[in-house]
Structure 1
């Protein structure tokens, strides 16, 4: 079930890596192979206590397996263990990071920019809001009520006031409510979410950009989850319009460890104006002496960072370029197609309630009240049959209900197999059987 067919490729690549250090005196690792094997077997047994995140029947949270080339490149880099905080710690991996980040920026139409990888979206968003706070000290940060919870937490860490803007019945930031709040003044930054983590909703970026022209706030796009979908070929009109103008924001975040096929943790923060690098300026009395070039530690709040993450991302983008209509783009198109297919099945089934069409690849649905069964009961029954979904508490207006909140089932259709009719049929069969079983089971 766990694929080991690529290990010979890694072994060959390790031999090539070793050739680059062949002039060094012989050196052998001192670890006892028998002890290593014993501990590693113990680790393997412990790791069995996991959901099968890599498998198509795991369709709950946004957990996507790394591409084989990312896994192999990451493992290969670990034999050198570079640190991308400075060129001294990771010469090759720092250069690969710059190239990989430039490819991400180019996806948004940026050629002159400042950016780097981070340990994930939280740190990337923190850096973006930190810069925003330096440019507008003490001013309010706004994000939608469906934006990721880290924005309010980050704002608190940075000492910036935070307020949530209501959403419409599509889960997008309510532009009229945003305008009304902007009229009161004292807003420094607006965060537009291009792909909320609950429903995949895409905030109406063109309208928010128009408000920026009137009110002069800084605009940050949190595209940690959804950013790659600008390459998809089957977005709806509203989402497409947002991605068409994402290059007009002041800063943005994208997480390669979500749809970018990377291991955790790999996030990225990008700034449209490279001059914000002045806020990172610092002096180090002891760290950097081998190069006078700009190093990644001079444009990052984080210090030590895994160079292996940059190597894995570079290798993946080398194999699967970020080009519209290419193989990587096709994967994203498939993911939304799979979500639309699941949504259609749910909408046609009288047991379920669905709301708006999925804008990306997240599908949410609730149970018809007369069925007399909770979403949690179906969630648990599905897990017993091997299908792993997720639960979400969402506003009732998403389903045309007067109830303030409703507990829903949620599925992220982010694996390529989810677009395959055979896997779709198996997933649906398991969901349908779990629903029937939960309905027939006595409460409690």
Structure 2
């Protein structure tokens, strides 16, 4: 069975308990045409079959991880209430759960004192962090590495903030020497570091950048949308582990529970170490915040209506799987890292491939060895398509020449980039599935190279 059905029985039991909390109210009749609903629902099920098999371990492509059963069930259960976490009037219980869940995330990074909330994802979370940065340094530039997510440069345009890209080193990390040069010549208010880039899973050298902060006094924002949870993993490379250990020293952090946090889309989170930045959110709403003198989450968020169901699901998941080193949740992340190391070793020992980077987290990127950059790219695309025909779903990443030139990927550069194969081994189950994944990759690569040689 690919999709879990057994857990649905638990939902009905929980729904009966939820319903008892409202048994003092008069009954309301629900006029529901069950047959019509069933017909449409079955039609939806048919349409939804036109999808890649995201929950299955043979899907190892993009950053798509199935939510935990507890997250699905808690989210569905809360929909009978459909809370809105903008104000306590619309999401009393779910707002309390959000505050507790966010506090657990902050504690994972070493912050007892913080300001934060959930939002729709990393884009909005980063928007808020950069907006606060602009308020604190209104005339100064923001910088991120040229392998950081494109959202930073785009959001800076939205916010009217000058943005500069910092070149990367050969490991796709922000080059500290290049950053230092920019700090000496430009007015930079905020440096964005990435804890797990989208393309390669690279982690910027935070410890070294913190040393520069002591000299130049810039604000530090950590985009940990993908990699933030790996702070719980103990078996990381020393430099990577050191970077995660320093996260408690940055000014703001973004993390996406809908990536490695086992949550449904969309669930992002923005955290600020200094709670006083909440003053930038101040606004008057005489018709909204009247039921309580407590802080309403809408008073510290740029978004207005937000799904309380996301908070309920996150709280339930963290209740079942606490965010502690050595716990079940952390062990799942460690299994993903182990799977990446095993695949990396197999690729490294195979003359048909060139591994571009040693994986820092659970993302593996590799090129197909070829005479030219164009040939390597074409072979990668053919292997990508051939693997998909055998139900192994990988991803592609187009990487620039300066990151790959020292890797001996090709003999001749006839273009300035190479299309590489990429795998996000996000599921703990991937560790047990590396051999079947490798068997398919090995077989389809042989077939593609044989066709190439015969053409």
Unaligned runs of 5+ in 1: none
Where 1:278 maps in the other structure, the secondary structure is: helix
- Which digits, 9 at most, give the CA deviation of each residue in 1:325-376, with x for residues without a partner? 1111111111111100000000011100012210000000000104875110
- Which of 414, 426, 429 is the matching residue for 1:414? 426
Alignment of 1:265-414 (within 5 A): 265-370=266-371, 374-399=379-404, 400=406, 401=408, 403=413, 404-414=416-426
- Which digits, 9 at most, give the CA deviation of each residue in 1:420-443, with x for residues without a partner? 1xx111000111111122223369
CA contact (8 A) 1:202 1:359 kept: yes
Using the size of structure 2 for normalisation, the TM-score is: 0.95
Q: Which moved more, 1:432-441 or 1:30-39?
A: 432-441
Q: Which moved more, 1:285-294 or 1:85-94?
A: 285-294
CA contact (8 A) 1:356 1:398 kept: no
Alignment of 1:1-150 (within 5 A): 1-150=2-151
Q: Which moved more, 1:257-266 or 1:402-411?
A: 402-411
Runs of 4+ in 1 over 4 A off after TM superposition: 370-373
Using the size of structure 1 for normalisation, the TM-score is: 0.98
CA contact (8 A) 1:249 1:272 kept: yes
Where 1:353 maps in the other structure, the secondary structure is: strand
Distance (whole Å) between structure 2 residues aligned to residue 225 and residue 88 of structure 1: 33
Q: Does 1:429 align with 2:439?
A: yes
Task: Give the superposition deviation at 1:30.
Answer: 2.0
Where 1:312 maps in the other structure, the secondary structure is: helix
Distance (whole Å) between structure 2 residues aligned to residue 2 and residue 244 of structure 1: 37
| CA RMSD of superposed structures (Å) | 1.3
Q: In the comparison of the two structures, how many residue pairs are matched?
A: 442
Q: Which residue matches 1:255?
A: 256
Distance (whole Å) between structure 1 residues aligned to residue 258 and residue 30 of structure 2: 31
Q: Which residue matches 2:225?
A: 224
Task: Give the superposition deviation at 1:397.
Answer: 4.1
Task: Give the superposition deviation at 1:25.
Answer: 1.1
Q: Does 1:167 align with 2:133?
A: no
CA contact (8 A) 1:206 1:242 kept: yes
CA contact (8 A) 1:56 1:417 kept: yes
